[in-house]
Amino acid sequence: MTISESDDKTDIPEEPDRRQFLEKATCAVAVAGVAAAAWPFISSMNPARDVLRKSTTEVDISQIPVGEVKTVEWQSKPVFIFHRTPDQTTTMQASTGSKIDPQTDEERVLNPEWLVVIGLCTHLGCVPNKKPEGWFCPCHGSVYDNSGRVLRGPAPKNLYLLPYQFLSTDKLLLGKA
């Protein structure tokens, strides 16, 4: 008795080892292709060298008179460096801020004489104007005190803090605590 042609084809299963090898090889090639295609995008997300260089900024604060604010740029944002008067400091230390974003003055300064904050309104990012009692945002009327704490909205948060340190009594380093 002879084995028919059709029996011969259907009864012999495909070799499992060979199939698995082919599947794994195909997957490996696909993963390598995706990685190669994605690399330029991933690489472009790394900060550029000039950005890294500007991640810290040294500021000479020796020429900022008491009661005055100096605005400097740090990481493309304005930073207010405010040399507070003793009266302003005492008033801010006695206040606990507003109910919008309560915070003590002590939590916001390294040295009570100096307030260092990002100079952008926390509502939609306008630059607030300095007033004797703090800052006023001309865009929608938010008010901040001399500790940068929001007293009246729509701003939802106090002026943002940033990492900084005193290199000496005359020098600040922005961007590194």
Catalytic residue among 24, 53, 140, 176: 140
CA 46 vs CA 92, 147, 162: distances in Å: 40, 35, 21
Q: Among this protein's residues, is 123 annotated catalytic?
A: no
Q: Minimum distance from CB of 125 to ligand FES (Å)?
A: 6
Report the side by side order of strands in the sheet with 171-174.
57-60, 171-174, 164-166
24/140 with CB nearer ligand FES: 140
User: What mask of x and - would describe binding to ligand FES in positions 40 to 59, judged by CB under 6 A?
Assistant: --------------------
Instruction: Enumerate residues 121-150 that contact ligand FES by CB under 6 A.
Output: 121, 123-124, 126, 137, 139-142
- Helix ranges (DSSP H) in 45-140: 49-53, 86-94
User: What mask of x and - would describe binding to ligand FES in positions 96 to 125, judged by CB under 6 A?
Assistant: -------------------------x-xx-
* CA contacts within 13 A on the Cβ side of 158: 23
Q: What is the C-alpha to C-alpha distance for residues 83 and 11, in angstroms, rounded to an integer?
A: 90
Tokens of residue 66, six digits: 């008491």
The set of catalytic residues is 140
List of residues contacting ligand FES (CB under 6 A): 121, 123-124, 126, 137, 139-142, 154-155
